[in-house]
Amino acid sequence: MRYRADLPADPAIRRILVIKWSAMGDVILATALFEDIARAFPGRELHLNTLPTWQGLFAEDMRFQHILAIDLRDPSQQVTAFREWLRRVRSQHYDLVIDLQCNDRSRLLLSLLWLSGYRIPYCLGNRQQFPYSIAPAELPKPAHTIDRGRAALWAGNIPATTPRPVLHVSDSHYARARELMTANSLLPDQFAVFLPGCNANGYLKRWGAARYAALANRLHQAGLAHIALIGGPDEAEECQHIAQACGPWLINLCGQTAILDIPPLCEPARFIVANDTGVAHLAAATATLMLVLCGPTDPRRVKPLGDNVVTLQADLPCINCYRKICSHQSCMAILTPSLVFQYLQKLVR
């Protein structure tokens, strides 16, 4: 097996499949890699294999000529889904598959494809294992998802240099963002965005409504005109608590935005404060300064992509524990609103 190759130089590569399922944050991180791939293979046909949940993220994305969306995560339908995936991949006659997953499910599917007698000329992954013919010799440690993906691309001589996520946002989402800003008197550089939630199962990653409210009041007293809260159904209660502890200058937009409305809303903000949440990766598609508050998760692994993103974490022996249950949540308690306010002041300067 070869483990390195100059893939862009091979004119026989005409149709390429890129595989990325995962959670929203990882998929959005991978859009920087999608950009690298598209630039390395101009004029070639790119297909994306992702989950149906994320298909809408790429509805206006001209980098891909086809989106292959199959739900591979439902255990009750897994055998059927696997068969459908194998059938549809066989029918496309790919010259190159780029697997950006970091688990064994995609490797299993590609192995089944190979064992069934279907041979793809090039198969690129992030481990030197069957069925990958191209992979990096080693991975950086600790391995951030983006670093694993970049290492895999470089093994195929695909330059991986895009500095932040790249999303193709339609004019309709920009228009919706302008409507929300006008309706709530949000002027460019005169408001901040808070992303105070996260998936309900990962509640320990939340800084907490009381702390966000205290920070919001402090920022408003210091002269910031408005603060906008953005979130989805899992964050509704958290955002409501924050709004109740603040004045009418705090704008609660939770539940009022589609996913791709969020980057145009974050773009004109002075700065963003966020938990370790998938929406933070979405906001990182803009160049707006963002502070991400990390507690039980490792910033080296979860930090959104971009030199405009900064993380803040307490110095404790138990940080990066990744626990789901904790009796004290000291990692977040030590990050007081006063401390975060002072840190923000330095960053904004």
Considering the chain, tell me which residue range(s) the CATH 3.40.50.2000 domain(s) occupy.
7-155, 174-348
Mean pLDDT of 310-324: 87
The CATH number of domain 7-155, selected from 3.40.50.2000, 1.10.10.10, 3.40.50.2300, 3.30.450.90: 3.40.50.2000
CATH code that applies to domain 174-348? 3.40.50.2000
In a 13 Å sphere around the CA of 13, the CA atoms on its Cβ side amount to 24
Enumerate residues 6+ apart whose C-beta is below 8 A from 237: none
Instruction: Quickly state the pLDDT bin for 2 (edges 50, 70, 90).
Output: low
Predicted confidence (pLDDT) per residue in 106-151, tens digit: 999 999 999 999 999 999 998 899 999 999 988 767 668 899 999 9
Q: Which residue has the higher pLDDT, 341 or 318?
A: 341
Q: Is the pTM of this model over 0.85?
A: yes
